[in-house]
Amino acid sequence: MTAETPADLPADLLADLAAALPPEALVTDVAALRARGQDGSATPPTGDALALVLPSTTAEVSAVLRVAHAHGAPVVPQGSLSGLAGGANAVPGAILLSTARMTAIRRIDPVDQVAVVQPGVITKDLVDAVAARGLFYPPDPASYALSTIGGNIATNAGGMRCVKYGVTRDFVRALEVVLADGTVIRTAPGTVKAVAGLDLTGLVVGSEGTLAVVTEATLGLLPAPGPDRGVCATFASVADALDAANAIVASPHRPSTLELLDDVVLAALAAYDPGAGLPVGARAMLLVITDEPGARGVEDVAAYAAVARDHGAVRVDEAHDPERLHALMRARRSFNQAMRAVRGGSVNEDVAVPRTRLPELLARLADVAAAVGLPIGTGGHVGDGNLHPVIAYDPADPAQVAAAADAHGRILALAVELGGTVTGEHGIGTEKRAALRGELGDRVLSIQQAIKAALDPKRILNPGKKL
């Protein structure tokens, strides 16, 4: 606590939080709170937080929630603030609950092939730790060097390996969570199979901190894959690249990564990361990677190259050297930053449609860009239909800010119109709540609100988000 503590902080709430936590785990400094007020999205917080808590144990999380529940104070769970939908943004009067001190990897079990971790563990740290034991954690969000396991669970994060392995939910065996009133429960045993009750684990995954606070996760692992090898192919049109991608997905040679980048993104990345060696002047690029071992991996690469050539690729480069692929992947992971650098601001969309509708989606995104007068660069996980159109704009220009908001609404409506979703992996947060009813409909939304009311009757967990 300092002299800059907010003057309107309720003294009894502060006293109860101070009694529940070690002194270093409670922060009320105004500057520190504002620094934790917004995630990586362009959506600002809806108000100022009153306190930041940094628990290190489940018992401390439980104590914080008991206090919050007694006072009716909102609680916003936060990881590394790498989210892109406003899901961890501050709300008026909130207690920000950071998992920054909950970073223990409690167990890596090569027999049961599980890892048991606290929610603040950085995804890359877990990937590296299990790799040292000959194991593999497949979920691979682009922000994996920054994002936390708890944040990935909150949004059901996807990433670049979804085309082969699926999303975060597919690797969450069981969770320890704290409910809104401070009750601690386990959602399931840590077994591969468990059907004794309703799937509470699946319910919490993707709920964006609105149903419970995750304090421990039991995650499934796989044996280590083979070395990455693959193909970088450029095309004269996005349509040709999409045709090639669909042919690859339909083939027996399932890639572990299948990414599309259009010409706007390629130009932005070339300016942002010249050392990555990305093609200049191409209309579209496919990055296709296999992690199959030995001869199977070699056969996969040959098959991807043949498909690309059969579908009119202008250039096809094969890479059996993981270092070359890692340079391309590094550039791919900086896609959002590169587009933001174009004009200083960006809105990072996250829509998914059936793969058969991808050509229409991309064609109509070009129409949206023309209509609003802003560049929209699109890339993403073409193998599962999840693309990330990024709208670049100047945040100092009110006209461009308004045009970006217009484009945002048009893109979300377009995704639903094409039989898709307004979010494949980033979540709803505050950024996309207005589009939720159009996708879910009144009846489904009311069912979800009833579930929220059953688990959080005072609606203190991440209010104004997701639902």
- CATH number of the domain that residue 138 is part of: 3.30.465.10
For residue 342, is it within any domain? no
Task: Report the half-sphere exposure of 19 (CA within 13 A, side-chain side).
Answer: 10
Kindly list the distances between the CA atom of residue 275 and the CA atoms of 46, 286, 295, in Å, as whole numbers in the listed order.
Answer: 39, 18, 31
Say if residue 203 is in the same domain as residue 230: no
pTM of the predicted protein model: 0.94
Do 187 and 239 form a contact (C-beta atoms < 8 A)? Answer: no
For residue 378, is it within any domain? no
Q: Please choose, from the candidates 5, 99, 101, the residue with its C-alpha nearest in 3D space to the C-alpha of residue 51.
A: 5
Say if residue 93 is in the same domain as residue 134: no
Amino acid 280: pLDDT: 78
Amino acid 9: pLDDT: 54
How many whole angstroms separate alpha carbon 227 and alpha carbon 420? 34
For residue 20, what are its two tokens?
A: 């529940």
For residue 144, is it within any domain? yes
Which of 164, 195, 223 is the last residue in one of the domains? 223
For residue 390, is it within any domain? no
Q: What is the dihedral of CA 206, 208, 211, 217, to 10 degrees?
A: 60
Number of domains in the chain: 3
Which of 316, 333, 350 is the last residue in one of the domains? 333
Helices 263-272 and 335-343: angle between axes, nearest 10 degrees: 90
3-class SS of residue 218: strand
How many whole angstroms separate alpha carbon 52 and alpha carbon 75? 10
User: Cα angle vertex 235, ends 230, 237, to 5°?
Assistant: 140
Kindly list the distances between the CA atom of residue 195 and the CA atoms of 178, 186, 191, 310, 315, in Å, as whole numbers in the listed order.
Answer: 22, 14, 10, 46, 50
Say if residue 214 is in the same domain as residue 136: yes
User: Cα angle vertex 386, ends 381, 388, to 5°?
Assistant: 85
For residue 370, is it within any domain? no
b/e 180-217 (16+ beta carbons within 10 angstroms → b): bbbebeebbebeeeeeeeeebbebbbbbbbbbbbbbbb
Tell me the chain's radius of gyration from C-alpha atoms: 22
Which of 79, 98, 117 is the last residue in one of the domains? 98
For residue 66, is it within any domain? yes
Say if residue 247 is in the same domain as residue 142: no
How many whole angstroms separate alpha carbon 249 and alpha carbon 247? 6
Say if residue 231 is in the same domain as residue 316: yes
For residue 206, is it within any domain? yes
Kindly list the distances between the CA atom of residue 309 and the CA atoms of 38, 316, 347, in Å, as whole numbers in the listed order.
Answer: 45, 7, 34
For residue 132, is it within any domain? yes
Amino acid 17: pLDDT: 97
Say if residue 254 is in the same domain as residue 235: yes
- CATH number for the domain spanning 232: value is 3.30.70.2190
Say if residue 134 is in the same domain as residue 114: yes
Say if residue 86 is in the same domain as residue 140: no
Which regions of the chain are under pLDDT 50?
1-8
In terms of residue numbers, what domain contains 45?
Answer: 11-98
Percent of the chain with pLDDT over 90: 90
Say if residue 206 is in the same domain as residue 264: no
Expressed in angstroms, the distance from the first to the final Cα of the chain is 33
